[in-house]
Amino acid sequence: MKLWKRKIEIITADKSFTNDNFEIDFKIDFDQDPEPNISEVKIFNLSDSTIESIRKDKTIILNAGYEGDVGSILIGGIAKVETSWEGVDKLIKLLVGDGSKEWYRTKVSNTYKAGITAKQILNDLTGIFGLEIGEITVADNIVYKNGRSVSGTLESAIRSIVKDTKSKFYINHGKIYIRPWDEGTVTGFVLNADTGLIETPVPFEEEIDGKMIFGYKVKMLLNHRINIDSILKIESKTANGIYRVIKGSHHGDFITNVEVVGK
């Protein structure tokens, strides 16, 4: 696996910026919490006119990888734009959210007829977002025999129905995902010392929603294929088997850190 000649490309405001011409840094978080993640992107020494064109609510795409193997690690909307100086270098810092605009601003007040299923309601509510559907598969597609009403923010409405189905909900790369808790996306990727594993995975345990979670913290060279719910095989001195990513981050120094649990 060739992991050299680092490549970064940012596309926003009808412009493209690459690490061939600009210094670029980033920290992109991903997890299975329904609260939209906020990522940070920095670009150094842009012209004043270019900085002026990069504004709040514009879409941004960040591609990263290596020569011949580049993919998207961030697709979202700019939530905040900040400019500052680091020594003699002027930088623009962008805070980027996944669907955050619709998430916080949209209100709903819907009443659904008797006999409707949870998935039917979720299909209706997620359509309001205007985001692409990644997957809607519920663990328990319950039937509301007496109907169901939802009101308040779109966030609270979707969360309440997802909770009824004993499933998870998150937004990633501008797509909506609703899945059973132990499901994910099969990548076919095998991580070992030859494919980017940097350090021996470290065991961890954590209580989430009253349940103890056991897994490994894993550090690897940046890999655009790895994201929330990625299912991969790990070969190491500690972790050996099939695992699912439950949390992680991509960094501008071309490191990807993840937490994984057994599949």
d(CA 36, CA 30): 9
Residue where one domain finishes, among candidates 97, 130, 148: 97
> What CATH number should be reported for the domain holding residue 39?
2.30.300.10
Mean pLDDT, rounded, for 207-236: 94
Asked, for residue 126, whether it belongs to a domain, the answer is yes
91 and 28 share one domain? yes
Q: Which residue in the block uniquely carries the two structure tokens 């659904």?
A: 112
Backbone φ and ψ of 21, nearest 5°: -115, -20
Residue where one domain finishes, among candidates 40, 67, 97: 97
pLDDT digits (tens, 9 = 90+) for 164-219: 999 999 989 888 999 999 999 999 999 999 999 999 999 999 887 778 999 999 99
Reply yes or no on whether the pLDDT at 100 is more than 70: no
| 94-121: burial string, b at 16+ Cβ within 10 Å, e else | bbbbbbbbbbeeeebeeebeeeebbbbb
11 and 56 share one domain? yes
204 and 174 share one domain? no
Long-range contacts formed by 67-70: CB under 8 A, 24+ apart = 67/2, 67/4, 67/5, 67/7, 68/2, 69/2, 69/224, 70/7, 70/9, 70/224
129 and 75 share one domain? no
> What CATH number should be reported for the domain holding residue 116?
3.55.50
Asked, for residue 93, whether it belongs to a domain, the answer is yes
Looking at residue 99, what is its pLDDT?
65
Residue where one domain finishes, among candidates 97, 117, 146: 97
31 and 13 share one domain? yes
Asked, for residue 170, whether it belongs to a domain, the answer is yes
140 and 167 share one domain? yes
137 and 220 share one domain? no
Looking at residue 33, what is its pLDDT?
86
Looking at residue 159, what is its pLDDT?
92
Asked, for residue 1, whether it belongs to a domain, the answer is no
Looking at residue 102, what is its pLDDT?
64
H helices of 4-117, where? 48-53, 100-105
Counting residues of the chain whose pLDDT is more than 90, the rounded percentage is 82
Q: Is residue 119 within 8 Å of 144, Cβ to Cβ?
A: no
| 132-161: burial string, b at 16+ Cβ within 10 Å, e else | eebebebbeeeebeeebebeeebbebbbeb
126 and 195 share one domain? no
Looking at residue 177, what is its pLDDT?
95
Instruction: Provide the domain limits for residue 161.
Output: 103-180
174 and 219 share one domain? no
Asked, for residue 176, whether it belongs to a domain, the answer is yes
170 and 240 share one domain? no
109 and 151 share one domain? yes
Q: How many domains does the chain fold into?
A: 3
pLDDT digits (tens, 9 = 90+) for 22-51: 999 999 999 988 888 899 999 999 999 999
89 and 58 share one domain? yes
